[in-house]
Amino acid sequence: MDATAASITLADVGKVYPDGTVAVADFSLEVRAGELVVLIGASGSGKSTILRMINRLIEPTRGEITIDGRNVLKQDPVQLRRQIGYVIQNVGLFPHQTVRANVGTVAKLLGWDRKRIGARADELLDLVGLDPARYGKRYPHELSGGQRQRVGVARALAADPLVLLMDEPFSAVDPIVRARLQEEFLRLQAAVRKTIVLVTHDIDEAVRMGDRIAVLAEGGRLLQYATPAELLSRPASAEVRDFVGADRGIRRLAVTPVREVMAALDGAARDGLPTVDAAATLHDALAVMLTDDAATVLVTENGRPVGQVTRTAVFETPAETAV
Ligand SMILES: Nc1ncnc2c1ncn2[C@@H]1O[C@H](COP(=O)(O)OP(=O)(O)OP(=O)(O)O)[C@@H](O)[C@H]1O
């Protein structure tokens, strides 16, 4: 298969556990190929259940799930899982196997020869920033929490899956390591462009990582499915607004491009005004304004001024959807 990523569709999916708990009532979502979608919501809202239905660790009680148009419920679950990377909170590395063997697990199950498995494991360790010569022969207990998490990601990517499912992948490490792992992971994702569904309860992580964010309430009720910027500037309901938090205005700055709020150049003197690139965020523009004590910055594209942003415009919130 040439494709490196696949679209995922969940249509009217539900899960009632044998004890009668309706974990997910009726959930639908489309994830585009190569997109990183975050599922976020209160504890018990059904996030993990939804994630695990995609690789059939949990069998849905209703609805249809397709990956690139193929119904996952009609595929052999073991075969299916080998094409889907899965990363969980405490990684679940095999304690008695070396790092290299852990990373090669799925490739081995797929019947690759030893040389190819070894080469692939080293390539993946490199990719997640662990020197194979230094770490390949170690055992999981000889690594830090952050390093273990990287091995988990390398293992999930080893068989080049079309889809990656991640359940609170960064929550077991301290905030500083977490931020670094998130950043590294985004760089990795820019290179491999997998289709990723990531579960978190951390709104900052969702905003930083997600191309789109699905906000869930109890029973897998989908409150809003939107880009981070849209979610923060136009929460669809009071429930979503409460969930994304009081400091959403600040978060919005980090995900809104200056391009979205810039005004036309007004003929007045531009000499000496600080500049930001059109690809920069409002957060960047504000930082420049504060550093240079300026009320206006010029927005440039390929070095030429194309617009301007004022300090007032930075803090203007677009009209919210009525609630
Ligand atoms: N095996 C099970 N049997 C019965 N109920 C279950 C089972 N697993 C989960 N549940 C229930 O289903 C609901 C959804 O659980 P799920 O783990 O999907 O939520 P979550 O959003 O991932 O929660 P958290 O953020 O706390 O991890 C919860 O009410 C939970 O108690």
Of all protein residues, whose CA lies closest to atom 13 belonging to ligand 1?
Answer: 23
Ligand 1 atom showing the smallest separation from residue 21 Cα: 5
Q: Is the pLDDT of residue 1 over 90?
A: no
* Ligand 1 centroid distance, CA of 141 (Å): 29
* Ligand 1 centroid distance, CA of 81 (Å): 21
Instruction: Say what the pTM is.
Output: 0.80
Q: pLDDT tens, 217-253?
A: 999 999 999 998 888 888 999 999 888 876 777 777 8
Q: Residue 94's CB: how many other CB atoms inside 10 A?
A: 12
H/E element, 133 = helix 132-135
Model ipTM value: 0.96
* pLDDT at residue 2, rounded to an integer: 45
Give, in order, the Cα–Cα distances in Å from 277 to each of 78, 143, 284, 300, 312. Answer: 48, 40, 9, 5, 19
The tokens for 150 are 């990287």
Architecture of the domain whose range is 257-315: Alpha-Beta Complex (3.90)
Q: pLDDT tens, 123-140?
A: 889 888 889 999 999 999
Hey, is 207 helix, strand or coil? helix
Of all protein residues, whose CA lies closest to atom 26 belonging to ligand 1?
Answer: 43
Of all protein residues, whose CA lies closest to atom 28 belonging to ligand 1?
Answer: 44
Q: How confident is the model at residue 310 (pLDDT cuts 50, 70, 90)?
A: confident
CB of 49 closer than 6 angstroms to any ligand 1 atom: yes
Ligand 1 atom showing the smallest separation from residue 51 Cα: 18
Average pLDDT taken over every residue of the chain: 87
Q: Is the pLDDT of residue 320 over 60?
A: no
* pLDDT at residue 59, rounded to an integer: 95
Give, in order, the Cα–Cα distances in Å from 261 to each of 3, 217, 236, 280, 287. Answer: 36, 32, 21, 12, 16
Between 249 and 190, residue with greater pLDDT: 190
CA gap 262, 301 in Å, rounded: 12
Between 228 and 38, residue with greater pLDDT: 38
* Ligand 1 centroid distance, CA of 85 (Å): 21
CB of 46 closer than 6 angstroms to any ligand 1 atom: yes
* pLDDT at residue 203, rounded to an integer: 87
Give, in order, the Cα–Cα distances in Å from 193 to each of 6, 131, 174, 214. Answer: 10, 23, 26, 20
Domain boundaries, the chain: 8-251, 257-315
CB of 200 closer than 6 angstroms to any ligand 1 atom: no
Q: Does domain 8-251 have CATH number 3.40.50.300?
A: yes
The tokens for 190 are 């820019």
Between 94 and 225, residue with greater pLDDT: 225
* pLDDT at residue 3, rounded to an integer: 58
Q: pLDDT tens, 169-185?
A: 888 777 777 888 888 88
CB of 20 closer than 6 angstroms to any ligand 1 atom: no
CA gap 254, 177 in Å, rounded: 20
Kindly state the average pLDDT of the residues 267-287.
84
